Amino acid sequence: MIGKKHLGLLALSSCLLGAPAFAQSVNLYTTREPALLNPVLEAFTADTGIKVNAVFLKDGLQERIRAEGANSPADLMLLVDVGEINAAVEAGITQPLKSATIDKVVPAQLRPDDNWVTLTKRARIVVASKERVAQDAITYEELADPKWKGKFCIRAGQHPYNNAFFAAYVAHNGPDKAEGYLKALRANAARKPGGGDRDVARDIQSGLCDVAIINTYYIGLMSQAKNEQKGWFDAIKPLKTTFANGGTHVNVSAVALAKNAPNKDNAVKLVDYMLGEKAQALYANGNFEFPVNAAVTDSAAVKLLGPVTPDKLPLSEVAKQRKSAADLVDKVGFDS
């Protein structure tokens, strides 16, 4: 007769036998939403046999890795803003990330630091009322024109999306011109800066404003909405948006190799996989972002909005001006 102890061991053995066996794994810490990443991570595991242990953190990713120290299990960090990824590098919790695939697929501008690599891009552009705005193109500088007084909407200036955009403006034009620009934008605002990017589309539909700044992926998400947001999408049109002396401002989702990565080889394999055509299509289409792999030409964002020519200003230069931009926002009372 089998005792209770042996029955328990048999049950545990059955569970282990019934579970998938993974000889290798990689540990990913990320601030992305699970629904956006899981299809890519599941495909990677299916194709390579390497299990991805993903830790999804809304906040405190860098603090957690620093607290874990040399014993941190983190292999990779996937973040959604050039300022965040640059801060991770400055915090000393990354190490150089290199491979032949990275060199082949990712333009140098999108990997300005050996410690991180861009996976997808999102553009921050101007949208306008289909009914009330005739033009189809605009420069960021034109938003300061008094003709938009009382017709411009934007979320808070200190939000990371706008902080990166304003930092790019500082990098292009210097802090003095940037200060004047922020004052002009604030003077043109139809309401106090705030809310979310989709809220500015709502306010265009209602007639509160005629032009606004928005991340491109929100346009895509609204286009698929089954609620009132579909009406917000129908009320707006994207304008071809560039700096007067450059291209379109883009921000990125990017990946960095953790300083004490215990599974470094598998981490590089995951990065290479995410830069491949299959994963780029899955990842970009899941959130209407622009793929970094030029071979993926028919992504959802491109189909909806057309291709984007990123500004040639190095993202490292944008990151350097983040504090200056934040200080200027406070100085001019942009969010007050």
Number of domains in the chain: 2
What are the residues facing 56 on neighbouring strands? 30
In a domain, 1, yes or no: no
Give residue-wise pLDDT tens across range 131-170: 999 999 999 999 999 999 999 999 999 998 999 999 999 9
- Does residue 326 share a domain with residue 211? yes
Position 58 scores a pLDDT of 81
- Mean pLDDT across 239-250: 94
In a domain, 208, yes or no: yes
Give residue-wise pLDDT tens across range 26-69: 999 998 888 888 999 999 999 999 999 999 988 889 899 999 99
- Does residue 277 share a domain with residue 165? no
Give residue-wise pLDDT tens across range 61-110: 989 999 999 999 999 999 988 888 888 999 999 999 999 999 999 988 88
Binding residue positions for Fe cation = 217-218
Give residue-wise pLDDT tens across range 285-317: 888 888 999 899 888 888 888 888 889 888 888
Q: Residue 12: is its pLDDT beyond 50?
A: no
In a domain, 32, yes or no: yes
Binding residue positions = 217-218
Give the range of the structural domain holding residue 42, as residue numbers without chain letter: 22-121+251-305
Q: Confidence band (pLDDT; 50, 70, 90) for 22? A: low
- Mean pLDDT across 262-267: 97
Query: Is the pTM of the predicted complex or chain greater than 0.85?
Result: no
In a domain, 171, yes or no: yes
The CATH number that applies at residue 96 is: 3.40.190.10
- Does residue 160 share a domain with residue 91? no
Contacts of 122 (CB under 8 A, 6+ apart): 215, 216, 217, 250, 251, 252, 253, 289, 290
For residue 59, give the amino acid letter.
D
Interstrand relation of 250-258 and 94-95 (parallel, antiparallel or unpaired): antiparallel
